[in-house]
Amino acid sequence: MPGSAPRSVLMVGAGIIGLAAAWQLAEQGHAVTLVDPALATGHSTADSGSAAALGVLMGRVFQRSSGRAWRLRQQSNALWPQWIAELERRGHRLRYRPGLLLLAADEKELMQQERIAGERAALGMPMRMLGPEELKAYQPTLPGKPLGGLLSADDGQLDPGPVLAALLCEARRAGAQCIPERAMAVERGRQWRLTLASGRQLQADCVVLALGLQTSVLLAGLGHGLPLEPVLGQALELELPADPGWNWPGAVVWRGSNLVPRPDLGPAGRRLWLGATLEPGAVASAEALDGLRELGGEAPQWLQQAVVVRHWQGLRCRPEGRPAPVLEEPEPGLVVASGHYRNGLLLAPATAAWLCGRVSGGSTGESGDPEIADRSFQK
């Protein structure tokens, strides 16, 4: 926070959360060192949640209208436009597409969407329900036979790749140092010590653990228990045989699968991102990928005719037996920001704000409610 004494910070993990926080902390004058093997190439490794992301931002179309998760989403929803504008002012070309359409596959989903639309309308948020006849006007044909759809103008899709590159660039410009090595152990002392795979040791006032599943390993060495489980996600980039004449209002969600038009990629108007699977564990399933490709047997003909031009996957980190994400300070100077599961990109700004508050030792803002900051780890 402005006016607080600068501190030295070891940011372990350079996914979307680590990069966002490193940028903000360095901008505030803290001495930040980023530690992650992925920094050697600039690309997220396959065991990173960022590697599975399609960048669909579902901040407003959330099942609840209160509680910590809701507040985190709304804080990020307010911050992302500011971040995008600032990063583009600094010369970065970010790809943000507004609009998100959730399709109702059955009566239960339709009732949920109608409830959400009513609650958001009471809050003054732009959102409305579309009927089956309105949905038929969209081209190409939407999946399945939706009973209706919830259209949110305040949600959308943001490409993860350009965002990660921009955050890393700006963190470096602000003075963050980058070490492309794996962190092996964290130790207490006058300062926190981090041992790297090379045997090198780093020291700092604070250590922030934002490295997904490996967070549990480093915490275990300090006697803290934090059960995290992997959920693998596979995604596809598809090319259609012809331009379908997109007029969708944004990304589309059908039975949990995201369909993201990508007219800016490849032959004009013919690309689509499709994803991502939800596979417990770390081993990819061919059956799960086939199910995604076919949308459970409800893929429209134009989608069946598309060919796969790219396939990728990544591991999301989900907390076991507790809500996502984990934002806690189990000991002074030891801070955890992990387990964002499927919402790392969405929640990056709110998480960065919370981390800046913890490192500065002051107020953490909206996302720093007691249930986040003061819950103790198992020991």
CATH code of the domain containing 275: 3.30.9.10
In the predicted structure, residue 274 carries a pLDDT above the cut 70: yes
Instruction: Let me know whether 143 and 241 are in one domain.
Output: yes
Residue 238 is assigned to a structural domain of this protein: yes
Considering the domain boundaries, does residue 69 fall inside one?
A: no
Q: By residue range, what is the domain housing residue 347?
A: 8-55+162-227+321-373
Closest CA to 157 of 216, 218, 98, 198: 98
Among 14-28, 318-332, 364-378, the minimum mean pLDDT is found in: 364-378
Q: What is the DSSP letter of 269?
A: T
Same domain? 115 vs 239: yes
pLDDT confidence of 373, banded at 50, 70, 90? very low
Flag whether 70 is in a domain: no
Q: What six digits make up the tokens of 109?
A: 């989903």
Return the sign of the alpha-carbon dihedral for residues 53, 226, 33, 40: negative
- pTM of this prediction? 0.93
Check whether residue 179 and residue 130 sit in a common domain: no
Same domain, 34 and 178: yes
From 319, 349, 365, the end of a domain falls on: 319
Residue 209 has pLDDT above 60, yes or no: yes
Residue where a domain stops, chosen among 319, 339, 358: 319
Tell me: do 251 and 304 sit in the same domain: yes
pLDDT single digits (tens) 230-241: 999 999 999 999
Asked if the structure places residue 61 within a domain, the reply is: no
Per the CB < 8 A criterion, the answer to whether 61 and 155 are in contact is yes
Residue at a domain's end among 299, 319, 339:
319
219 within some domain:
yes
The fraction of the chain above a pLDDT of 90, given in percent, is 87
Are 234 and 315 in the same domain? yes
Instruction: Please confirm whether the linkage preceding 325 is cis (ω < 30° from 0).
Output: yes
236 and 315: one domain?
Answer: yes
Q: What mean pLDDT value characterizes the chain?
A: 92
Residue (of 242, 245, 254) closest to 139 by Cα position = 245
Same domain, residue pair 113 and 252: yes
13 and 135, same domain (yes or no): no
Structure tokens given for 226: 């934090």
Residue 364, pLDDT score: 43
* Amino acid sitting at position 88: E
- Amino acid sitting at position 301: Q
Residue 25 maps to which CATH number? 3.50.50.60
Q: Is residue 123 part of a domain?
A: yes
> How far is residue 314's CA from residue 161's CA, in Å, rounded to a whole number?
14
On whether residue 216 sits in a domain, the answer given is: yes
Q: Is residue 85 part of a domain?
A: no
Q: What pLDDT score does 48 carry?
A: 60
> Do residues 303 and 254 share a domain?
yes
pLDDT per residue as tens digits for the range 315-338: 999 999 999 999 999 999 999 999
Looking at the structure, tell me whether residues 149 and 246 fall in a common domain.
Answer: yes
Q: Let me know if 374 is exposed, middle or buried by CB neighbors in 10 A (0-12, 13-18, 19+).
A: exposed
| Residue range 187-194: mean pLDDT, rounded | 97
235 and 151 both lie in a single domain: yes
Q: Report how far residue 181's alpha carbon sits from residue 171's, in angstroms, rounded to the nearest whole number.
A: 18
Model confidence band, residue 362 (pLDDT cutoffs 50, 70, 90): low
| Residue of 337, 16, 344 lying closest to 171 (CA atoms) | 16
Count how many domains the chain has.
2
Please give the share of the chain, as a percent, with pLDDT higher than 70.
Answer: 92
Nearest to 36 by CA among 217, 185, 198, 180: 180
